[in-house]
Structure 1
């Protein structure tokens, strides 16, 4: 069985509107939390993703820093685009 991340919520952590840089916290359905960084110009682009160290990694089960979530950046980006999560997070 392969891991399939499903986004349950996204909230804005910080931003620099002048430069178009944003930081979001992504909450996944399995309880994992990730921090993502975005550049808004010329269009939304994920520049980095990392798992917050609140729960063990759902993929490798390490409870320390790993880079497993980077492999799912495309899947998460697609969900964010399809469900307009960034627009919802900024509007709050």
Structure 2
């Protein structure tokens, strides 16, 4: 099981009327990802994409990949467990 250790989560965009939220997540290895959530009434991750600042921590490729999508549930659980999501 992969551990990503989300160290920071910053809200970057929101559409409260539709319940859509966008966050920038920073992992312990300095990888950054854009995380999309819905909130109706609970937080649910809809997608995650890696920002191309460092190679992918899973496949080590330096271009667009979908590796983080496979671990979206794990990443969501780490974000929730660390209390980084707003109320």
Deviation at 1:84, TM superposition (A): 1.6
SS where residue 78 of structure 2 aligns? helix
Structure 1 gaps of 5+ residues are none
Task: Please name the residue that 1:5 is paired with.
Answer: 4
In the alignment of these two chains, the number of paired residues is: 87
CA RMSD after TM alignment: 1.4
Q: Provide TM-score, normalisation by structure 1.
A: 0.87
Structure (1/2) with the larger strand percentage: 2
Deviations 1:29-51 (A, max 9, x none): 00100101001113110000010
SS where residue 5 of structure 1 aligns? coil
Task: Please name the residue that 2:44 is paired with.
Answer: 45
SS where residue 78 of structure 1 aligns? helix
Deviation above 3 Å: which 4+ runs of structure 1? none
Structure 2 gaps of 5+ residues are none
Deviations 1:46-72 (A, max 9, x none): 000010001111111111100111121
Q: Provide TM-score, normalisation by structure 2.
A: 0.92
